Amino acid sequence: MRLVSTAWVRSVGGRRSVVREMSCRPARAGPSWSVPENRFVGEIASSYDQPGTGMFSDHVLEATVDCLVELSGGGAAMEFAIGTGRVAIPLAARGVPVTGIELSADMLAVLRSKPEASAVTAVEGDMAVTNVKGEFSLVYLVFNTITNLTSQDEQVACFQNAARHLRPGGRFVIENGVPGLRQLPPGNSGVPFALTEDYIGIDDFIDRTHKQISRSRHFHRREDGSFSEFTAPFRYVWPAELDLMARIAGMTLEHRWAWWDRSPFTGESLSHVSVWRLPVP
């Protein structure tokens, strides 16, 4: 998992909450609800965008948006964890009406500061329970963000919330990495996923047999040469488990590709783009 996603949530069960369009209040889910932990604040939010590199590169965004435009089928789209609008803004520019849910007020502030985001509707809330008025042909959740939900119950609730927003025949799309447990050296729990002069990223699989929890560690070089560390928990999840979550929510698998270019998914694939669909009565 990378430090790129935008919904950090604690368990609230499967109950629904309602946040109307353009609301800036956190979602609520009953008297036991506590405000979800949000790590995407301050400098992390303000420096999140990295134009032209990595997931912000033109070829990544073009492939992502091309695929989502086709899957939307001419209808409206909902993005869970919309963040600063990396995908939503170019998707809206292609004529797809886009609404998004985002936990971080700071990330939303960055999104709303962009003139090109005027066509995008965004609400502050929890993607596992927040309900937005409207009906959508497509709900999508990109770049490993499903793993920001750190319990199986929360991940199931996310699928159920997607299904609540979809019209009959609508699609739910997730882009996620395949857990890298095969890369673990014997006797070790960590796998590096990035190594440069200024940045080191390590996935540390700290619970491999029960709750499937990993810890993502990000080390960034400061100007004085020392490194700062950002650490966050994730729940890694296999494609087959996601298929079962979709079935619980009333959806079935329609497509699974290795990436947005629809390349075949194989046993050697490191990531997947999966599409589940609600039935048409």
CATH code, 81 = 3.40.50.150
Over the stretch 122-155, which tens digit does the pLDDT of each residue have? 999 999 999 999 999 999 999 999 999 999 999 9
User: Are 23 and 158 part of one and the same domain?
Assistant: yes
pTM of the model: 0.84
Distances (CA, A) of 276 to 8, 88, 157, 249, 262: 23, 20, 15, 10, 15
Domain count, the chain: 2
Residue 28 has pLDDT above 80, yes or no: no
Tell me: do 167 and 267 sit in the same domain: yes
> Would 7 be classed as within a structural domain?
no
> Could you tell me the residue range of the domain that residue 116 belongs to?
17-179+238-277
| H helix intervals, 129-202 | 152-165
Confidence of residue 16 (pLDDT cuts 50, 70, 90): very low
Residue 149 lies inside a defined structural domain of this protein: yes
Task: Give every CB contact of residue 210 below 8 A, 6+ residues apart in sequence.
Answer: none
pLDDT at residue 37, rounded to an integer = 67
Count of C-beta atoms within a 10 Å radius of residue 194? 13
| Residues 171, 229 share a domain | no
CB count in 10 Å sphere of residue 69:
17
**In this structure, are 112 and 58 located in the same domain?**
yes
- Cβ atoms of 39 and 272 within 8 Å: the answer is no
pLDDT at 49: 86
Q: Is residue 2 part of a domain?
A: no
In a domain, 6, yes or no: no
- For the segment 57-79, the average pLDDT, to the nearest whole number, is 98
